């Protein structure tokens, strides 16, 4: 074979194009020095000429390297790296080489700045029990970090040649909220590290962020005029000047070095030259492998979102990673990929009646449309129906295969003609309609709705006359209807068992396991299966004949399964006609004699009723998805017996003929015959009882997936955002604007960043992005000992404190506080696993890869190995809870020290399970402790959903007192507090913490002290994941007050008594906001002690007249 020179040259050129193609990239966290600019792209650190051109990769570890900053002399680049599954500070030469690790604490260490003396300032939450950022300093050779004295610092810059710093307390750079002006907005503080005279110098209601000091000016990012741009000012806050005019995208992640400020705009790098007063874009390209954009193979079972059986139950359709797959329901078989549509998502698949097609929703045309795909994977799909331009739920096929019914986000239930594609609305509800089922004759649809009284109700739609009938009593909460296969009964669950449980902390009650199983007799002549007297008189001979028919020649009972199978074969073509007598239907109700519980997902087969049951559990109980407290049950109607069929069931479904059942567990699919009351036996050589899908694999096109995820996220906001007008934002235009950035990304992390910018245009809280198929490094955890230490000059560590706020709780006490160890402040930590701690720059190096593991610790009363005592402890993986409770105990002690014994104190970290536990633990012991005033502290409260309950507990007025002979006094309502109440909030009080703050004011429970809150109040839910396991939230639920004005969202909650913390006082151990609350309590106690009403004299009831 002859090859020409021309061909060889062309081939070489094409190979060069394939393997060394420059990519534009998605550039973040840039930093410039001299004629170079370093930045993050493709999850790694790169460096490129400042004049533009191809970049060179500096790092290649899994995970993301970010917050790069050149040192003042340009010799080093500091950055935060995720090399061992933990974010730590590293330095690397601009020429490349191996990065040097400088920090080891398991808290994420974020590089913030370089000091004038060549150290690196970084922030983390390492030992701040209150939860705010703290700033640490570490040298380029590592060592024990120095903590700065200012309690809260997120961004910092150092005055050149001086002792002042400029800083912000908060960091909102990663938040998905543009044009933010709430209480959490960043402000810049300036002051001397010697005089501690820190003052807020910015007054803009929005964000003044990331200060950078150069010469006699402070440069920073400000969000005035709708976009984040670069500004500068004098250190006292005067002389404001806007330096850039970016309009399409925000200026983000600035870094100052060598008189240049590098920052990101969209996906590009810009550099502002301070001396020239000009900014320009740096045209960088990446000659990169872009490994994360390559097609690769994944296990789809890790991403399965939908499943369903074929009509005969012999095959299983699976929706995973946006594609449709089918597999045999035999124990092992090949999994076939029925669709191959990168960039599209097919979901909610359902087999057609004849099993030749699979119906599914797809976004191939942008909005969701219903298509039919060949079940054998051969041939082209066909479009069935357009579908409404909103989020559609699962379709349910009629038994005759001609119709489908489907609910959607608009709270409508629609009927779809599968032949013509026409769609009509059946009904609307006060909430979304998820549960619906066809009658056996395809005439009726039973479904659940939410009624105006907020209770669930069951309705039936008649396709023949298009009428709708409510068939359950609206006085009871009912749902999950399912039809008897013979068309005589409609089963449903209803919460009518009001068996109250007495609360142990106060005189209150809760109801659990309220659900019961019911059946409606559809026709008037249908008899209850539980009549105690048989009203049908039959001859004894006939009954004897039937009994004999159930026995073989030897008198043994015939195999009921065989008999049932013959009956099924005989009745396959039996036509069922459902007869409904509407008059009096709601009263033809029968309670099935099953135990009350928490039920849902009902499905009926002949003589039996399947359902999912959840056991009641507390918030603190650890719940795994395959926990046996969630199970598939089967209730035998005739025998009145309940069976637990599959523990850990996450859901189940029937074949079209209702002869087969598929049950989804955490890791598998279990196939049952209809009527089965237990799982199939496992293979002899295999403990697994389900299908074998371990060899299932498929290839994915990441770039195509990312585009699909982007537009799904855009649609989900369009469909679920609480304001259909999208806060006045042109949502289509914004979608197109940020879609341009998706073409630039090369990793899944970067997609999340683009989505964050897109969501930010809605200017709303709670619009979050999380997870996905992210590149991650293997976690190498660092163990902790729960102590505060100081490094001595000889390298040993003097113990300042052994934290043990709750000695009985291992999560809230240091391992070194265990009974019998007797480790005391003033002693020394000298060795770990017999390695001297002074042999390394930071003793945490010796605890690397020892998180939660046993280690030998050496403690001495002097800084020496000689005479040290040794013992083994298990390290902590996280000190967050320990340090938080230590902070709470310090606040309680502070109140007692400055306010005396008459004032109670309670801090709530959130309005979730931990907050509920705190209220139960801290409120009740103090409410009866003779306290005259109570301080409720919700500073830094992270939100949740219990504020309304707590407010109800506090908004109670005592109206009577009581006593028994020789007993303690009591009052009514029980556990109500009759003393004075005051609450404290701050800038980081958010979400449901703001519900508490606003409710506190409106209920006039007392003063609200502190600072304006976050302003994020529009609530969210989950449930709409992406194809790769990631997800996003859509702000959906909000509200207004009695004055018809929107509440909280945006500005936050204003305190009645504004009090700002003085930084110098905080450094000195004072708490100005708490001091204000204490003084108010003392003044009110003196003015009105709120004592119990005096007890009256006992009544005299003796006879007063003459005795007879």
Could you tell me the CATH number of the domain that includes residue 724?
3.30.750.44
Q: Is residue 869 part of a domain?
A: yes
pLDDT digits (tens, 9 = 90+) for 653-694: 999 999 999 999 988 899 999 999 998 876 655 555 678 788
Query: Would you state the pLDDT for residue 684?
Result: 54
Q: Are 271 and 258 in contact (CB under 8 A)?
A: no
Query: Cβ-count burial of 794 within 10 angstroms (0-12 exposed, 13-18 middle, 19+ buried)?
Result: exposed
> What is the reported pLDDT for 546?
45
Q: What is the pLDDT of residues 725-763, one digit of tens each?
A: 999 999 999 999 999 999 999 999 999 999 999 999 999
Q: Which residue has the higher pLDDT, 350 or 291?
A: 350
**412 neighbors 424 (Cβ within 8 angstroms):** no
Indicate the residue among 235, 264, 289 that finishes a domain: 289
- β-pairing verdict for 284-285 and 669-673: unpaired
pLDDT of residue 130: 87
Helix (H) or strand (E) holding 700: strand 698-700
CA 1028 to chain centre: 16
Nearest to 619 by CA among 1023, 1036, 918: 918
User: Looking at residues 605-609, what average pLDDT do you find?
Assistant: 96
**Residues 177, 209: Cα–Cα separation, whole Å:** 14
Task: State how far the Cα of 677 lies from the Cα of 674, in Å rounded to an integer.
Answer: 9
Average pLDDT, the chain: 91
User: Domain check: are 831 and 968 in the same one?
Assistant: no
Residue 24 banded pLDDT, cuts 50, 70, 90: confident
- What are 694-707's pLDDT values in tens digits? 889 999 999 999 99
Write the CB contacts of 48 (distance below 8 Å, at least 6 apart in sequence): 36, 37, 38, 39, 54, 55, 56, 282, 284
Q: Which residues pair with 142 in a beta bridge?
A: 139
What pLDDT, on a 0 to 100 scale, did the predictor assign at position 560?
Answer: 45
* Whether residue 266 is found in the same domain as residue 183: yes
In the chain, the percentage of residues whose pLDDT exceeds 90 is 82
Instruction: Give pLDDT, residue 687.
Output: 55
Average pLDDT of span 1074-1087: 98
Write b or e for each residue in 262-278: b if 16 or more Cβ atoms lie within 10 A of its Cβ, otherwise e. bbbbbbbbbbbebeeee
At residue 563 the predicted structure's pLDDT band, cuts being 50, 70 and 90, is very low
Listed in sequence order, the residues at least 6 apart from 580 whose beta carbon sits closer than 8 Å to its beta carbon are 444, 460, 522, 523
Tell me the C-alpha distance between 1003 and 878, whole Å.
39
What is the mean predicted confidence (pLDDT) over 128-133? 88
To which residue do tokens 């198929």 refer? Answer: 773
CB distance 132 to 151 below 8 Å: yes
Of the pLDDT bands very low, low, confident and very high (cuts 50, 70, 90), residue 562 is very low
| Contact between 433 and 411 (Cβ < 8 Å) | yes
The residue-averaged pLDDT of 1047-1072 equals 97
Residues 135 and 284 in one domain: yes
Residue 530 gets which letter from DSSP? T
Q: How confident is the model at residue 251 (pLDDT cuts 50, 70, 90)?
A: very high
Q: Which position has the higher pLDDT, 558 or 961?
A: 961
Residue 924 domain-assigned? Answer: yes
**Are 965 and 1069 in a shared domain?**
yes
Tell whether 727 is covered by a domain. yes
Domain final residue pick, 265, 289, 313 = 289
pLDDT per residue as tens digits for the range 820-840: 999 999 999 999 999 999 999
Q: Exposed (0-12), middle (13-18) or buried (19+): which is 777, by Cβ within 10 Å?
A: middle
Domain boundary at 854, 876, 898, which?
876
Coil, strand or helix: which one is 738? helix
Assigned domain for 888 exists: yes
Is the model more confident about 1009 or about 63?
A: 1009
Question: 1030 — phi, psi (to 5°)?
Answer: -80, -175
What's the whole-number mean pLDDT along residues 948-977? 92
720: left (phi over 0), alpha (psi -120 to 50) or beta: alpha
Count of domains observed in the chain: 4
Is the model's pLDDT at 863 over the cut of 70?
yes
- Same-domain pairing of 131 and 205: yes
Q: What local confidence, expressed as pLDDT, does residue 530 receive?
A: 83
| d(C-alpha 431, C-alpha 451), whole Å | 8
Looking at the domain assignment, is residue 428 inside a domain?
no
Q: Which residues touch 1058 (CB under 8 Å, ≥6 apart)?
A: 1010, 1011, 1012
pLDDT class of 856 with cuts at 50, 70, 90: very high
Q: Is 864 found in the same domain as 889?
A: no
Query: Mind listing the pLDDT tens digit for each residue in 465-524?
Result: 999 999 999 999 999 999 999 999 999 999 999 988 888 877 788 888 999 999 999 999
Residue with tokens 């400000």, as numbered in its chain: 222
Report the C-alpha gap between 575 and 486 in whole angstroms: 9
Instruction: Identify whether residues 271 and 183 lie together within a single domain.
Output: yes
Q: Where are the beta strands (DSSP E) in 153-303?
A: 155-158, 164-168, 188-192, 199-200, 208-214, 217-222, 229-233, 241-242, 251-257, 260-265, 268-273, 278-282, 284-285, 296-298
User: 855 and 873 in contact (C-beta within 8 Å)?
Assistant: yes
Are 204 and 186 spatial neighbours (Cβ–Cβ below 8 Å)?
no
Q: Which of 705, 779, 692, 780 is nearest to 742 (CA)?
A: 705
Q: How far is CA 758 from the centre of its chain?
A: 20
Q: According to the model, what pLDDT value does residue 683 have?
A: 60
pLDDT of residue 666: 85
Q: What is the CATH number of the domain that holds 808?
A: 2.30.42.10
pLDDT at 571 over 90: no
**Are residues 905 and 842 both part of a single domain?**
no
Task: Judge whether 664 and 651 are in contact, CB under 8 Å.
Answer: yes
Q: Is the pTM of this model over 0.95?
A: no
- Give the C-alpha separation, 64 to 748, whole Å: 11
Same domain for 155 and 234: yes
Domain identity same for 100 and 205: yes
Residue 26 pLDDT > 90, yes or no?
yes
Q: Are 91 and 844 in contact (CB under 8 A)?
A: no
Strands 970-972 and 477-483: unpaired
pLDDT at 628 over 90: no
Full domain range(s) for residue 959: 882-1017+1052-1087
Same domain, 854 and 939: no
pLDDT value at residue 552:
44
Q: Report yes or no on 195 lying in a domain.
A: yes
676 located within any domain = no
Give the start-end residues of each E strand in 963-1065.
970-972, 980-985, 1008-1010, 1031-1032, 1057-1058
Closest by CA position to 1072, among listed 1083, 1057, 1061: 1061
Position 22 scores a pLDDT of 58
| pLDDT tens-digit readout, 67-110 | 999 999 999 999 999 988 899 999 999 999 999 999 999 999 99
Tokens standing for 246? 């970016």
Domain with residue 276: its CATH number is: 2.120.10.60
* 8 A C-beta contact, residue 885 and residue 855: no
Q: What does the DSSP assignment read for 76-132?
A: -EEEEE-TTSS-EEEEE-TT----EE----SS--EEEEE-TTS-EEEEE-TT-TT--
Whether 1015 shows a pLDDT value over 80: the answer reads yes
795 domain residue, yes or no: yes
The pLDDT value given to residue 622 = 57
pLDDT higher than threshold 90 for residue 709: yes
Model confidence over 454-472: pLDDT tens digits? 999 999 999 999 999 999 9
What is the mean predicted confidence (pLDDT) over 945-972? 92
What confidence tens digit (pLDDT) does each residue in 153-194 have?
A: 999 999 999 999 999 999 998 889 999 999 999 999 999 999
Write the secondary structure of 758-786 as one string of H (helix), E (strand) and C (coil).
HHHCCCCCCCCEECCCCCCCCCCCECECC
Provide the b/e sequence for 1075-1107 (b: ≥16 CB within 10 Å): bbbbebbbebbeeeeeeeeeeeeeeeeeeeeee
Bond prior to 175 in cis (omega within 30° of 0): no
Q: How far is residue 356 CA from its own chain's centroid?
A: 39
For residues 275 and 158, state if they share a domain.
yes
């Amino acid at each position: 074979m002859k090859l020409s020179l021309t061909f060889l040259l062309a081939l070489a050129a094409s190979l060069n194009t394939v393997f060394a193609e420059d990519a534009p990239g998605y550039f973040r966290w840039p930093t410039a020095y001299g004629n170079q600019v370093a930045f993050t792209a493709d999850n790694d650190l790169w460096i490129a000429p400042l004049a533009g051109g191809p970049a060179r990769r500096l790092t290649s570890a899994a995970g993301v390297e970010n917050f790069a900053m050149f040192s003042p002399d340009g010799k080093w680049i500091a950055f935060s790296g995720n090399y061992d599954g933990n974010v730590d500070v590293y330095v690397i030469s601009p020429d490349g080489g191996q990065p040097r690790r400088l920090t080891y604490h398991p808290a994420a260490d974020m590089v913030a700045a370089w000091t004038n003396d060549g150290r690196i300032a970084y922030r983390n939450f390492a030992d701040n029990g209150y939860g705010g950022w703290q700033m640490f300093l570490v040298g380029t050779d590592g060592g024990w970090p120095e903590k700065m004295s200012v309690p809260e610092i997120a961004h910092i810059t150092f005055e050149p040649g001086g002792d002042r710093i400029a800083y912000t307390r908060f960091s909102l750079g990663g938040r998905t909220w543009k044009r933010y002006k709430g209480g959490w907005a960043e402000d810049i503080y300036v002051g001397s590290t010697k005089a501690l005279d820190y003052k807020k110098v910015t007054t803009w209601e929005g964000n003044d962020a990331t200060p950078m000091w150069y010469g006699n000016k402070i440069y920073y990012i400000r969000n005035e005029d709708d976009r984040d741009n670069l500004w500068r000012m004098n250190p006292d806050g005067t002389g404001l000047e806007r330096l850039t005019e970016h309009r399409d995208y925000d200026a983000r992640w600035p870094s100052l070095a060598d008189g240049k400020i590098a920052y990101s705009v969209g996906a590009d790098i810009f550099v502002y030259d301070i001396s020239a007063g000009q900014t320009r874009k740096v045209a960088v390209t990446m000659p990169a492998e872009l490994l994360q954009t390559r097609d690769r193979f994944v296990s789809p079972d890790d991403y399965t979102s939908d499943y369903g059986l074929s009509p005969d139950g012999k095959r299983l359709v699976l929706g995973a990673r946006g594609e449709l797959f089918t597999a045999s329901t035999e124990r092992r078989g090949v999994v076939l990929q029925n669709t191959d549509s990168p960039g599209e998502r097919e979901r909610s698949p359902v087999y057609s009646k004849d099993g030749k097609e699979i119906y599914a929703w797809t976004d191939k045309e942008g909005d969701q449309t219903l298509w039919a795909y060949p079940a054998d994977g051969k041939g082209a799909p066909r479009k069935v129906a357009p579908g409404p331009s909103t989020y559609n739920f699962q379709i349910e096929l009629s038994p005759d295969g001609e119709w489908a019914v489907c609910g959607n986000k608009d709270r409508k239930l629609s009927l779809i003609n599968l032949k013509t594609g026409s769609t009509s609305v059946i009904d609307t509800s006060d909430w979304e309609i998820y549960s619906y089922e066809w009658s056996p004759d395809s005439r009726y649809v039973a479904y659940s709705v939410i009624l105006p009284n907020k209770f669930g109700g069951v309705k039936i739609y008649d396709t023949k006359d298009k009428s709708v009938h409510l068939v359950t009593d609206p006085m009871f909460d009912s749902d999950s209807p399912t039809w008897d296969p013979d068309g005589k009964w409609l089963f449903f669950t209803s919460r009518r068992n009001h068996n109250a449980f007495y609360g142990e902390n106060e005189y209150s009650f809760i109801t659990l396991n309220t659900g019961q199983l019911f059946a409606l007799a559809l026709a008037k002549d249908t008899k209850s299966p539980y009549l105690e007297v048989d009203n049908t008189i039959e001859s004894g001979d006939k009954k004897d004949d039937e009994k004999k028919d159930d026995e073989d020649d030897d008198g043994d009972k015939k195999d009921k399964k065989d008999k049932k199978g013959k009956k099924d074969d005989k009745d396959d073509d039996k036509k069922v006609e459902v007869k409904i007598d509407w008059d009096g239907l709601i009263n033809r109700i029968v309670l099935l004699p099953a135990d009350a519980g928490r039920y849902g997902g009902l499905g009926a087969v002949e003589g039996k009723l399947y359902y999912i049951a959840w056991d009641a559990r507390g918030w603190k109980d650890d719940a795994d998805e395959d926990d046996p407290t969630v199970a598939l049950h089967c209730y035998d109607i005739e025998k009145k017996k309940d069976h637990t069929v599959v523990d850990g069931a996450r859901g189940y479904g029937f074949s079209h003929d209702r002869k087969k059942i598929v049950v989804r567990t955490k890791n598998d699919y279990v196939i049952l015959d209809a009527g089965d009351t237990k799982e199939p036996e496992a293979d002899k050589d295999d403990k697994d009882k389900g299908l074998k899908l371990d060899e299932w694999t498929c290839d994915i096109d990441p770039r195509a997936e990312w585009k699909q995820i982007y537009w799904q996220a855009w649609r989900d906001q369009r469909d679920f955002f609480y304001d259909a007008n999208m806060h006045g934002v042109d949502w289509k235009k914004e979608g197109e604007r940020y879609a341009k950035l998706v073409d630039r990304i090369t990793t899944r992390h970067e997609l999340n960043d683009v989505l964050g910018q897109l969501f930010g245009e809605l200017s709303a809280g709670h619009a979050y992005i999380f997870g996905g198929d992210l590149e991650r490094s293997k976690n190498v955890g660092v163990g902790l000992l729960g102590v505060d230490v100081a490094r001595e000059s000889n390298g040993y560590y003097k113990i300042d404190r052994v934290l043990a706020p709750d000695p009985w709780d291992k999560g809230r006490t240091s391992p070194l506080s265990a009974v019998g160890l007797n480790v005391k402040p003033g002693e020394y930590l000298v060795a770990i696993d017999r390695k001297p701690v002074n042999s390394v720059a930071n003793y945490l190096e010796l605890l690397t890869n020892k998180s939660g593991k046993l280690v030998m610790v050496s403690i001495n009363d002097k800084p020496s190995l000689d005479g040290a005592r040794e013992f083994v402890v298990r390290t902590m993986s996280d000190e967050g809870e320990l340090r938080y409770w230590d902070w709470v105990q310090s606040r309680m002690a502070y109140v007692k020290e400055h306010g005396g014994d008459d004032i109670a104190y309670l801090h709530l970290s959130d309005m979730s399970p931990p907050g509920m536990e705190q209220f139960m633990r801290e409120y009740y012991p103090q409410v009866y402790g003779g306290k005259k005033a109570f301080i409720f502290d919700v500073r830094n409260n992270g939100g949740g959903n219990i504020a309304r309950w707590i407010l109800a507990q506090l908004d109670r007025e005592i109206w009577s007192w009581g006593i028994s002979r020789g007993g303690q006094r009591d009052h009514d309502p029980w556990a109500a507090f009759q003393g004075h109440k005051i609450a404290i909030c701050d800038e980081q009080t958010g979400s449901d913490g703001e519900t508490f703050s606003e409710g506190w004011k409106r209920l006039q429970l007392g003063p609200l002290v502190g600072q304006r809150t976050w302003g994020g109040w529009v609530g969210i839910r989950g449930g709409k994941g992406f194809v790769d396991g990631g997800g996003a939230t859509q702000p959906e639920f909000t509200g207004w007050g009695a004055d018809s004005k929107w509440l909280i969202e945006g500005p936050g909650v204003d305190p009645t008594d504004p009090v700002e913390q003085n930084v110098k006082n905080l450094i000195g151990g004072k708490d100005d906001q708490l001091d204000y609350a204490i003084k108010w309590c003392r003044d009110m106690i003196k003015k009105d002690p709120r004592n119990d009403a005096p007890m009256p004299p006992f009544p005299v009831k003796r006879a007063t007249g003459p005795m007879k």
